[in-house]
Amino acid sequence: MQRTYAGTLLVAALVGCNAGVRTSGAPATTVSFGGATLDHEQLRRVLADMPKGGDLHNHMSGSVYAESYVRWAAEDGVCIVRATATSVRGPCAQMSDRVPATQVLADSALQRDIIDAWSMRAWNPARESGADHFFATFAKFSVAASGARFGDMVAEDASRAAAQHVSYLELMANPEGSSISRLGTRAGMSTDFAAMRARIDGMGLHDSLVAISRMIDRAEARERELLRCGTPQADAGCTVVVRYLYQVIRSRPPEQVFAQILAGYEIQAVDPRVVGFNLVAPEHGDVAVRDFSLHMSMIDKLHGDFPTAHITLHAGELAVGVFSAEQLASGLDPAAVLRSHIRQSVEAGHAERIGHGVDVLGEEDSAGLLREMAQRHILVEIALTSNDLILGVRGAQHPLHAYLAAGVPVALATDDPGVSRSDMTQEFVKAVEEQQLDYPTLKRMVRSSLEHAFAEPAVKARLQAQLEADLIRFERDHIR
């Protein structure tokens, strides 16, 4: 069970050398960890071996490394528009500005440019903001990341997780594309959410959800094939438990967001592998800002119909500097936006977990909010690399210690490890080097990741028992 999935060999090698991503300031030369004094490479080796529980915040399309997307694009006959480094459907010969992706594999300079455009590898903050470069990557590789590669993505994620002792993944995806959004368009917007729900259900939403379930069946069959599960050569990724979170794209018109939120609730009963939903797309975007409270009221209203459904919400993935000059010129007040998204997500959005929560100290009555989150055991999914690259928030600016001091449960997560050129081990390294966390705190966070997983109770109990056994092994080898 220890063979490595061939498709991730390259990834493992890249991750090992941090893949050329700008790092946020020079780390301390040595740190004290687990009773030893370790330099950066020693710390990375120890933390690579640490059992890490679950990665609860991981967008599937952003989790895959650009090298894999280029390879799949070449195999799938996808073309690349050279000027914009954007993947488009073939045939390529009809248009002079595009080349077959096979040519990218054969041309190392072109390959370098594409990988830089599809990730944060050579991002230059003097040319564009981290948020702009980061979010632009998704449109560039989207054709290479087609639904036909769903199973390949799961295989890459599971194999990489196993190699870092991550036993559980919740992958965010919306594999159906736009079909459910279109039901929302057909239904039209109304303030009568019950009537909207009835119309969308009546249009056959259930059939679309069954179709998603079939896509997951096919993806997992492909994953098992790629990882050779059930054979003597099985990749260790076969042991990783994978669950899914349905992604609601909040930059879309309200009637489409409503249809997707409804789908996020209903699919949990159709397919138990889809264990919750989340709202995605940049929280600082115009529509996300304008409709934030409307989205929360949609979730709140439907929650009455699905009281046991799981919800985790991106909230507070904001910093004053993330808003564009156009937004500021149009009168947007960043402080006003930063004042309430986390509280709204907890109180109206019924979030059991919060993604990022970076701006919590800018919220109105942040002390009261932190107390409320601790009391209600609302976990914050902390993504240090992503927050550094997208928001420029790092080190002492990050509120991780405020959450810890308030007793709010936290767990480390990768967010978009392919785009960020990171992995879970890097998140742990940053937690020690940049946040000065000690081993007992990391261990508590690892346990929290499984306690707050949305997987069914029997699976969680099994993973938790395995984690305790793995921690004993790790401590025997590495902790004094």
Distance CA 46, CA 59 (A): 26
**Does 415 sit near Zn ion (CB under 5 A)?**
yes
Closest among 174, 184, 186 to 150, alpha carbons compared: 174
Of 34 and 62, the one with the shorter C-beta distance to Zn ion is: 62
Q: With the C-alpha atoms ordered 111, 117, 120, 123, is the resulting torsion angle positive or negative?
A: positive
Of 166 and 196, the one with the shorter C-beta distance to Zn ion is: 166
Of 208 and 260, the one with the shorter C-beta distance to Zn ion is: 260
Residues between 91 and 120 that touch Zn ion (CB under 5 A):
none
In the complex, the smallest distance separating the C-beta of residue 57 from Zn ion, rounded to whole angstroms, is: 6
Distance CA 416, CA 141 (A): 14
Among 10-18, 139-147, 195-203, 409-417, the segment contacting Zn ion (CB under 5 A): 409-417
Report the residue number whose CB is nearest to Zn ion: 415
In the complex, the smallest distance separating the C-beta of residue 432 from Zn ion, rounded to whole angstroms, is: 23
CB 298 within 8 A of CB 261: yes
Give one DSSP letter per residue of 263-320, joined into a string.
HHHHHHHH-TTEEEEEEES-TTSHHHHHHHHHHHHHHHHHHTT-TT--BEEEE----G
In the complex, the smallest distance separating the C-beta of residue 234 from Zn ion, rounded to whole angstroms, is: 30
Q: How many residues bind Zn ion (CB under 5 A)?
A: 1
Strand (E) or helix (H) holding 381: strand 379-382
In the complex, the smallest distance separating the C-beta of residue 172 from Zn ion, rounded to whole angstroms, is: 7
Strand (E) or helix (H) holding 37: strand 36-39
Of 352 and 415, the one with the shorter C-beta distance to Zn ion is: 415
Of 154 and 383, the one with the shorter C-beta distance to Zn ion is: 383
Distance CA 279, CA 313 (A): 6
Residues between 131 and 160 that touch Zn ion (CB under 5 A):
none
CB half-sphere exposure, 157, CA atoms < 13 A: 36
**Does 55 sit near Zn ion (CB under 5 A)?**
no
Among 100-108, 122-130, 324-332, 410-418, the segment contacting Zn ion (CB under 5 A): 410-418
Phi, psi of 280 (to 5 degrees): -125, 175
Of 58 and 164, the one with the shorter C-beta distance to Zn ion is: 58
In the complex, the smallest distance separating the C-beta of residue 287 from Zn ion, rounded to whole angstroms, is: 17
In the complex, the smallest distance separating the C-beta of residue 58 from Zn ion, rounded to whole angstroms, is: 8
Of 271 and 415, the one with the shorter C-beta distance to Zn ion is: 415
In the complex, the smallest distance separating the C-beta of residue 412 from Zn ion, rounded to whole angstroms, is: 13
Distance CA 64, CA 459 (A): 26
Q: Using CB under 5 A, list all residues that contact Zn ion.
A: 415
